């Protein structure tokens, strides 16, 4: 037991004395620029990334970018948003036109290995589905044999539809678009029998774009796994760590009940975990290469994961999406953050 205690003490001392993480070229560029360049989806997706008439971006994916900015600069608004199509997004990231993507990109093996990119977490667990006009009388995706389907080209959605229809020995007519606005307009004008995409996109599209949302129904089948999250270039481990731990910090804050409303009061907490998270006990910021107040700044300016979910897509938003599999692991969901310690 004495040897174990000595080993643990030595390990903690090593962590406390470790130097700050060394920045790579991507992080150096962001710091030198004084601004994060974040790739989002052209046309936006209600609840996830939308821009108003004044050019202000909001949404769950936007909150990830804001959180990273808060961790790096102490200011969540030092972000430039660059809209990218499904065809452009990965090429733009590879070319250095943006620092990261936060635009509902699906994490797959080939994207993670063949493109020179790193997926660093899952912001939203989703799955692909279909939306149809109620007047079509369709109750199941298995009744779509021979249907024309509007879908974005260059997306996993296009491939998933082909797999689903082949597996179920059905045929379909793809109507492909690069621009989400064109795809939505085509569907609502009657050019396609169905519109397919991640279910979050379907619910958002129905609420934000349908002439009358009650005239459309999302079918019950979910035909794929769509883990959606931020993407960075491969090679700058520290920048990837910062992006990854910003999301984990928002999840851990929710787990410990730390919100944008009570974060100042939580600075007085005696809970050792909360003291580490908020930087009252120093060390975590140094280990990541950011200010010790990094989590405090994120939560104060952006909020925890639950706050972001609720105001953008959950019960505090027009979408009214249930947490479901995006609930914390303590509440039966899949969202689970490694400990900040």
Residue with tokens 């799955």: 127
d(CA 277, CA 71): 13
Last residue in a domain, options 224, 246, 262: 224
The vertex-102 CA angle with 106 and 227, nearest 5°, equals: 25
What secondary structure letter does DSSP report for 98? S
CATH label of the domain that carries residue 177? 3.40.190.10
Q: Is 3 among the domain residues?
A: no
Q: Which residues of 216-232 are buried (b: 16+ CB within 10 A; e: fewer)?
A: bbebeeebbebbbbbbb
Residues 145, 109, single domain; the answer is: no
d(CA 178, CA 286): 43
Supply the pTM of this predicted model.
0.86
Residues 113, 243, single domain; the answer is: yes
What secondary structure letter does DSSP report for 97? S
* DSSP for 226-264, written as a single string: EEE--EEETT-HHHHHHHHHHHHHHHHHHHTT--TTTHH
Q: What is the pLDDT of residue 22?
A: 56
Residues 6+ apart with CB under 8 A from 179: 42, 43, 85
Residues 43, 116, single domain; the answer is: yes
Q: How far is CA 5 from the centre of its chain?
A: 40
Residues 40, 180, single domain; the answer is: no
- Report the percent of the chain where pLDDT is more than 70: 93
Residues 254, 312, single domain; the answer is: yes
Lowest mean pLDDT among 5-9, 166-170, 198-202, 237-241: 5-9
pLDDT band at 87 (very low <50, low <70, confident <90, very high): confident
Judge whether residue 16 has pLDDT over 80: no
Selection from 193, 93, 205 nearest residue 134 by Cα: 193
Tokens of 148: 């024309």
pLDDT band at 9 (very low <50, low <70, confident <90, very high): very low
Residues 41, 170, single domain; the answer is: no
Q: What is the pLDDT of residues 171-190, one digit of tens each?
A: 999 999 988 889 999 999 99
Residues 28, 105, single domain; the answer is: yes
Backbone φ, ψ for residue 324 (5° rounding): 50, -130
What is residue 201's three-state secondary structure?
Answer: helix
Tokens of 318: 């027009």
Q: Is 27 among the domain residues?
A: yes
Residues 6+ apart with CB under 8 A from 191: 148, 150, 175
Interval 79-94 mean pLDDT: 94
What is residue 293's three-state secondary structure?
Answer: coil
Q: What is the pLDDT of residue 260?
A: 98
Judge whether residue 3 has pLDDT over 60: no
Say if residues 326 and 125 touch (Cβ distance below 8 Å).
Answer: yes
Judge whether residue 4 has pLDDT over 70: no
Residues 60, 207, single domain; the answer is: no
Residue with tokens 């949302």: 213
d(CA 323, CA 27): 33
Q: Is 108 among the domain residues?
A: yes
Residues 120, 132, single domain; the answer is: no
Residues 119, 135, single domain; the answer is: no
Q: Is 142 among the domain residues?
A: yes
Q: What is the pLDDT of residues 29-65, one digit of tens each?
A: 999 999 999 999 998 889 999 999 999 999 999 999 9
Q: Is 76 among the domain residues?
A: yes
What is the number of structural domains in the chain?
2
Lowest mean pLDDT among 2-11, 84-93, 254-263: 2-11
Q: Is 5 among the domain residues?
A: no
Judge whether residue 17 has pLDDT over 70: no
Q: Is 14 among the domain residues?
A: no
Domain that holds residue 155: 128-224
Backbone φ, ψ for residue 8 (5° rounding): -65, -40
Last residue in a domain, options 168, 193, 224: 224
Backbone φ, ψ for residue 281 (5° rounding): -95, 110
Residues 37, 170, single domain; the answer is: no
Residues 120, 137, single domain; the answer is: no
Q: What is the pLDDT of residue 14?
A: 45
Q: What is the pLDDT of residues 259-302, one digit of tens each?
A: 999 999 999 999 999 999 999 999 999 999 999 999 999 999 99
Last residue in a domain, options 166, 193, 224: 224
Say if residues 306 and 297 touch (Cβ distance below 8 Å).
Answer: no
């Amino acid at each position: 037991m004495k040897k174990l205690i000595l080993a643990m003490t030595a390990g903690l001392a090593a962590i406390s004395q470790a130097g700050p993480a060394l920045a790579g070229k991507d992080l150096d560029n962001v710091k030198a620029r004084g601004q994060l360049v974040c790739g989002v989806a052209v046309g936006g997706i209600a609840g996830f990334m939308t821009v108003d008439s004044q050019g202000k971006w909001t949404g769950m994916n936007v909150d990830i970018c804001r959180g990273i900015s808060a961790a790096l600069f102490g200011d969540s608004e030092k972000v430039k948003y660059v809209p990218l199509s499904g065809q452009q997004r990965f090429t733009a990231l590879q070319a250095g036109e943006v620092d990261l993507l936060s635009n509902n990109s699906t994490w797959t093996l080939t994207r993670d290995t063949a493109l020179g990119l790193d997926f660093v977490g899952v912001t939203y667990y989703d799955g692909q589905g279909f939306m149809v006009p109620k007047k079509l009388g369709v109750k199941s995706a298995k009744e779509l044999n021979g249907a024309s389907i509007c879908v974005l080209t260059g997306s996993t959605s296009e491939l998933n539809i082909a797999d689903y229809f082949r597996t179920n020995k059905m045929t379909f007519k793809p109507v492909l678009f690069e621009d989400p606005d064109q795809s939505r307009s085509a569907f609502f004008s009657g050019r396609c029998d169905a519109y397919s995409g991640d279910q979050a996109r379907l619910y958002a599209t129905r609420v934000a774009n349908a002439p009358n949302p009650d005239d459309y129904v999302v079918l019950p089948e979910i035909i794929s796994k769509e883990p959606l999250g931020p993407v960075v270039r491969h090679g700058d481990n520290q920048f990837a760590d910062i992006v990854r731990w910003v999301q984990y910090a928002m999840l851990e804050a929710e787990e410990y009940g730390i919100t944008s409303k009570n974060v100042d009061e939580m600075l007085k907490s005696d809970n050792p975990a909360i003291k580490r998270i908020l930087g009252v006990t120093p060390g975590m910021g140094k280990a990541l290469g950011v200010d010790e107040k990094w989590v405090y700044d994120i939560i104060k300016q952006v909020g925890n994961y639950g706050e972001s979910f609720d105001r953008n897509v959950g019960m505090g938003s027009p979408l009214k999406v249930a947490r479901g599999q995006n609930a914390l692991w303590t509440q039966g969901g899949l969202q689970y953050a490694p400990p900040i310690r």
